[in-house]
Structure 1
Amino acid sequence: MISSIRQITISSMEERGTNLLREVVAGIALFLSLSYIFIVNPTILAESGIPAGAAFFATVVTSAAFTIWMGVYSKLPFAVAPGLESSSFFVFVVVVSLGFSWQQALGLVFWSGILCVLLTLIPIRPKIIDAIPEGLRAAITASVGIFVLVIGLVVTDVLTFENGLLTGIGEFANPKLVLLVLGLVISVVLAWKPLRFPAGMLIAIIICSIVARPLGIVADTPAAEPEQFTQAIGRLDIFIIFTDPRAWAALLIFFMIDFYGSIGKFIGLTRGTNLADIPEIKDPKAALYVDSLGTVGGSLMGTSTIITFVESSIAIKQGGRTGLVAVVAGVLMLLSLMFAPLVQLVPVAAVGGVLVFVGLLLQPTTELIDAAYGTKDPGSRLDYFDLIIIVVMGAIAFLTFSLDKSMLFGFVAYSLKQAVVNKGRVNPYLLGSTVALGVALGFQYLWI
């Protein structure tokens, strides 16, 4: 490993026009920008019954190990960690709505990671992703963002759902609403371009946690005690897919969040930089392995789907260009283990504003504006049909508190569009994805 790191620091830095100091600074900025996840993720996962200490340990160790491996193996400045979209789906849909245990939910995460690894090995993954129209990719991203935003509104009692349907709006005198607005405002202000503070969301969570006490909002998350650290390791139930057909719909959603997001992030994060043309981005197989195996490793440790974080863009904007950035960030992640007591001090409502902010960040704003105004810019890739599908998919995610129905609508819509435009011919990979999602969703409702 030491020789691999040495290779990164010498040849890659010269080749990509950077230096040691710039890489280290970018790694520190990357760590600060996503450090909020080490508080938010355990706080959310604890709602499913996973011991808070176990969720904290799994989040930190898995993120650190696979971020370091991302740097060493793929030589790219990307960090990986549990995604809020998958963690929210894990808790509020798979465990709370569908009634699976957290051990069974971890089993579904495990199989989704295995599926990603297999499709990367074949290799069929790029073909499936290439078959997804640009508009559908934007719609999936927007729907995931809306889902995360809704979680922020749910944990602050702004919205209430029952049996998968929106049932009402909470009281506006609710003190949790103060935390929602405060967290959102702080996150937005500190992310404002002139400031661009890398730890803005972490600061928002800390301030909201302090303000929560005089408002009478107390954290109900158990203490993240060191003796709990290993209590979720190996506790997953991998046999659930053989005993409950409903599990397949949830498995496919976990899979799609991980599968379709990774290559898009690799391309999007490096677009406009000298990384865009390097072999590791043109054929990101090494990075895909890390991303996929991270999900498998995370499920074994006790956390939800591991994804490549968009906060990696902060490191790239700081001038980070090599895997040394990820190695520095990963080492700093390990040091976060000493902050376990902080998890107990954070009410879940204190992360509501950050969840809403993350949901807004996931919206493909530029593409939506281009589609809405019919921009003639050659770079504009979406049209009115895409805009309609994005809006409808977002509305379904919002009103039904689910991603499966939203995604199925999108896949069916674009399959029908291809069939009409191409006189009955539909890309087999797009059609296969549509059928698989439809069958899985059908299983879920047939066996409720």
Structure 2
Amino acid sequence: MSHHQFYHDRTLSSGRPSLWQAFSDKSIIKREITAGMTGFFAISYIIIVNPMILADAGIPVNLSVFATILSSVAGCLMMGFWANAPIILTPGMGVNAFFTYTIVVNMGLSWQQALAISMLASVLYMLVAFTKLSTVLSAAIPAALKTGITVGIGLFLVEIGLEKAALIQPGKASLIELGSLTNPNVLLFLFGLFVNLMLFIKKVNGGFLIGIAVTAIAGILFGIHGSQSAHVSLSDFTSYGAIVGKGDFSHLFSLPFLLAVFSMSMILIFESMGMLEGILPDKRNFKRTFEGSATTSLISGILGTSPTVVAAESAAGIESGGRTGIMAVTAGILFALSLFFTPLLGYIPQAAIAPIIVITGAIMMQQLKDLHFDDFSSWFPAFLIIVLIPFTSSISTGLSFGFVAWPVLKILEGKAKTLHPVMILLGALFLINLICSALL
């Protein structure tokens, strides 16, 4: 039996090792550190991308970089020491777009009010996570919808990866079209995709990390560099207080504010629930991990950024062998060190990161196998979640349509008595959310 198989079997049979056991086993430490490095480099783009998105909400880029890094450090350490889970928490793609383009740009609220909305939504998230509501919701929400959330976010990641690689782009006669295959970035992405797939299929330990390095070096040799637009100097840290604890609750009782709180709390709760149930190696650790995720999302709002969520890229580290909190702690340390090396991250081309994002999304989409396609009223709501998340670039929209469709189809099928009261309530709340959002 190979060492990899022994480690895998031991993890499955007895659960993940305790943090102390992991630290006591050099072979586990090596694997976990490699997994943490892999997960970090797969998600490291968030250090640059998140501030760029939040800049459209009015948050200064150089200060947002600090908030992004510090909230990621807090999240990873929380996952490591509180939950002992191989999960990386960072400000999330999708929820940061909701923060910027829905709350600030479309609804006309300020970024300070958006931070307040994030904090209140996180408090609701914590109320669920630290009470029996987490168990009630987890039991009440059908497995098909949980699968739909995981798969939908996976497909969203695939779309993001392909866009970063310029393999797809907005079409002139269609929504999207194939990018130019003569584009150097596209060619570098295809090279990186081949390298990473080869390493992944051959189950090379730390394969994603090796793939990123090989692709980045190849890109630099051919003059392809990453974004240099997010430079930050440690001297800027003296101004960081300008965005810390700046949540504005003055519009607390206005309808747009309350709707935004509801929508964001639903995104945080159900995205995290679906993500954790989809990628967490030891499902018995769900409660502790869920609590840590909720707590860090509140901390991130105080630190001046959109909420942290379970990074889908955690799957890259898990696929590399991550099973304990050492993986998360490693990623957290690397996030902290990135404060000093942020300019260097800019040299990693997007095309070197994109293959990892695409493969990670594909891994998440494997959950499709859990859908029962012979039960239309069960898989169609999941289908709505899966297609509407990437097609609308809105996790909230996908969740809303899926959760509304579930009770409607069950009633039409004559199975109203099988509906859990929680699902009826959630369906009604999401329907109200859709109606009110359309009227705003």
TM-score tier, shorter chain, comes to: 0.7 to 0.9
The question of whether the paired residues in 2 share the 8 Å contact of 1:246 and 1:440 is answered with no
The question of whether the paired residues in 2 share the 8 Å contact of 1:83 and 1:305 is answered with yes
Is residue 228 from structure 1 mapped to residue 220 from structure 2 by the alignment? no
| Amino acid aligned to 1:63 | S
Cα distance change on mapping 1:204 and 1:432 into 2, 3 Å: farther
CA distance in 2, matches of 1:266, 1:81: 14
* 1:130 corresponding residue in structure 2: 139
The question of whether the paired residues in 1 share the 8 Å contact of 2:389 and 2:395 is answered with yes
| Amino acid aligned to 2:63 | A
What's the TM-score once normalised by structure 1's chain length?
Answer: 0.75
SS in 2 for 1:223: coil
Q: CA deviation at 1:78?
A: 3.9
The question of whether the paired residues in 2 share the 8 Å contact of 1:71 and 1:325 is answered with yes
Per-residue Cα deviation, 1:350-388 (whole angstroms, up to 9, x for no partner): 6554443443333144526x645x6xxxxxxxx454444
Cα distance change on mapping 1:126 and 1:349 into 2, 3 Å: same
The question of whether the paired residues in 2 share the 8 Å contact of 1:146 and 1:360 is answered with yes
* 1:445 corresponding residue in structure 2: 438
Is residue 256 from structure 1 mapped to residue 257 from structure 2 by the alignment? no
SS in 1 for 2:252: helix
CA distance in 1, matches of 2:144, 2:130: 27
* 1:53 corresponding residue in structure 2: 62
CA distance in 2, matches of 1:316, 1:399: 28
Cα distance change on mapping 1:406 and 1:71 into 2, 3 Å: closer
**Structure 2 unaligned blocks of 5 or more:** 1-16
Q: CA deviation at 1:172?
A: 2.9
Residue pairs, 1:178-197, within 5 angstroms: 178=187, 180-196=189-205, 197=207
Cα distance change on mapping 1:21 and 1:138 into 2, 3 Å: same
Question: RMSD between aligned alpha carbons?
Answer: 4.0
The question of whether the paired residues in 1 share the 8 Å contact of 2:22 and 2:29 is answered with no
**Structure 1 unaligned blocks of 5 or more:** 1-10, 375-382
CA distance in 2, matches of 1:99, 1:183: 41
What's the TM-score once normalised by structure 2's chain length?
Answer: 0.76
The question of whether the paired residues in 2 share the 8 Å contact of 1:79 and 1:309 is answered with yes
| Amino acid aligned to 2:69 | V
Cα distance change on mapping 1:317 and 1:42 into 2, 3 Å: closer
CA distance in 2, matches of 1:97, 1:291: 27
| Amino acid aligned to 1:210 | I
Is residue 36 from structure 1 mapped to residue 41 from structure 2 by the alignment? yes
SS in 1 for 2:305: coil
Aligned length: 414
* 1:395 corresponding residue in structure 2: 387
CA distance in 1, matches of 2:249, 2:65: 25
| Amino acid aligned to 2:362 | L
CA distance in 2, matches of 1:253, 1:182: 40
* 2:305 corresponding residue in structure 1: 303
Identical counterparts, % of pairs: 23
SS in 2 for 1:62: helix
Q: CA deviation at 1:220?
A: 5.9
Cα distance change on mapping 1:102 and 1:41 into 2, 3 Å: farther
| Amino acid aligned to 2:232 | A
CA distance in 1, matches of 2:161, 2:322: 32
CA distance in 1, matches of 2:407, 2:391: 24
Q: CA deviation at 1:61?
A: 2.3
Q: CA deviation at 1:340?
A: 1.3
Q: In the alignment, which of 279, 289, 292 is matched to residue 290 of structure 1? A: 292
Q: CA deviation at 1:409?
A: 1.9
Cα distance change on mapping 1:154 and 1:240 into 2, 3 Å: farther
* 1:378 corresponding residue in structure 2: none
